[in-house]
């Protein structure tokens, strides 16, 4: 132990269409930053859409980048409680959360040993990537894809909510999300094949084919406003303050 403060690893929030042509630039960077060649894929959000196909796609894709893929089969709540799965996540140097159902993903991972293992691994330097649902769930506030309302995320990062597939997200849902955002909450729209990267020093930048748009208090803002989003969160992961709840970051529908 060096006695130095813990420093989280590189974090990638991907707008969707993961593991397809156009993502190679940032995925190569993530693989290099991990210091290894293995990617641990959590296909949790794809549990109802042939998760094995998501893993196969990732395996073929990362092979082209010189990497290998290992699947962590967390598909239901019992899997997230499994200590073997938690140990697999805790020891990984590069963890990738696939897209799919964000509500299922949240309900499976919330307050589980696998979730805690993921937080601990990233906190101590592992690379973490989440695409689409895998990105949405990481904020303390989460966008409900059914209508654009706000609900609770898992709380890895405070004062952030993510809108993936922003290049195809309906305008009315976007407007509703931005309007409902409470004071201080950053809404971040990320287009497909695009990654918003959080560096270990807390700075943010964009990589990939598309664009990232940030809204703060109803207005578009630059990436610099993300610096005020805190890690570790000021509140326990998965919790929002009474003030945030009252101002529009409410709990919303319960996970399915």
In a domain, 2, yes or no: no
Residue 235 in any domain: the answer is yes
Against a cut of 0.85, is the pTM above it?
yes
In-domain check, residue 6? no
Query: Is residue 253 domain-resident?
Result: no
- Taking phi over 0 as left and psi of -120 to 50 as alpha, with beta for the rest, 248 belongs to left
Write out pLDDT tens, residues 149-203: 899 999 999 999 999 999 998 888 888 899 988 888 999 999 999 999 999 999 9
User: DSSP assignment, residue 125?
Assistant: T
What phi and psi, each to the nearest 5 degrees, are found at residue 194?
Answer: -135, 140
Given this model, what pLDDT does residue 230 score? 66
- What's residue 6's pLDDT? 67
* Domain-embedded: residue 38: yes
Which positions ≥6 away from 226 have C-beta within 8 Å?
160, 186, 188, 198, 204, 214
Query: Is 126 inside a domain boundary?
Result: yes
Q: How many other C-beta atoms can be found within 10 angstroms of the C-beta atom of residue 29?
A: 16
Is the link from the previous residue into 230 a cis peptide, with omega within 30 of 0?
Answer: no
Enclosing domain of residue 73: 11-247
Cα–chain center distance at 251: 19
Q: Is residue 256 part of a domain?
A: no
Listed as ranges, residues in the chain with pLDDT below 70 are 1-6, 230-256
Pick the closest to residue 96 from 74, 78, 79, 113 (CA basis). Answer: 74
Whichever domain contains 41, its CATH number is 3.40.50.880
**Would you state the pLDDT for residue 172?**
85
Instruction: Work out how many domains the chain is built from and give that number.
Output: 1
Q: Does residue 252 belong to any structural domain of this protein? A: no
CA angle 223, 227, 228 (to 5 degrees): 120
């Amino acid at each position: 132990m060096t006695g130095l403060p813990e420093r989280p690893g590189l974090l990638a929030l991907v707008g969707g269409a993961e593991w397809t042509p156009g993502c190679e630039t940032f995925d190569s960077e993530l693989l290099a930053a991990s210091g290894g060649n293995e990617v641990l894929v959590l296909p949790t959000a794809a549990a109802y859409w042939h998760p094995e196909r998501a893993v196969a796609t990732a395996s073929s894709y990362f092979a082209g980048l010189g990497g290998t893929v290992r699947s962590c089969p967390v598909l239901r709540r019992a899997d997230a409680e499994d200590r073997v799965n938690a140990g697999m996540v805790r020891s990984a140097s590069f963890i990738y959360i696939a897209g799919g159902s964000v509500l299922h993903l949240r309900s499976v991972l919330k307050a589980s040993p696998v979730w805690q293992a993921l937080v601990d691994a990233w906190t101590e330097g592992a690379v973490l990537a989440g695409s689409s649902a895998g990105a949405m769930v990481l904020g303390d506030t989460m966008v409900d894809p059914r209508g654009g309302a706000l609900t609770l995320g898992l709380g890895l990062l405070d004062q952030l909510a993510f809108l993936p597939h922003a290049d195809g997200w309906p305008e009315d849902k976007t407007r509703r999300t931005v309007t409902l955002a409470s004071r201080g909450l950053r809404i971040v729209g990320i287009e497909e094949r695009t990654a918003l990267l959080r560096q270990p020093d807390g700075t943010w930048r964009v990589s990939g084919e598309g664009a990232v748009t940030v809204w703060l208090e109803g207005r578009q803002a630059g990436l610099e406003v993300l610096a005020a989003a805190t890690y570790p969160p000021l509140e326990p992961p998965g919790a929002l303050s009474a003030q945030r709840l009252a101002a529009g970051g409410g709990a919303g529908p319960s996970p399915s």
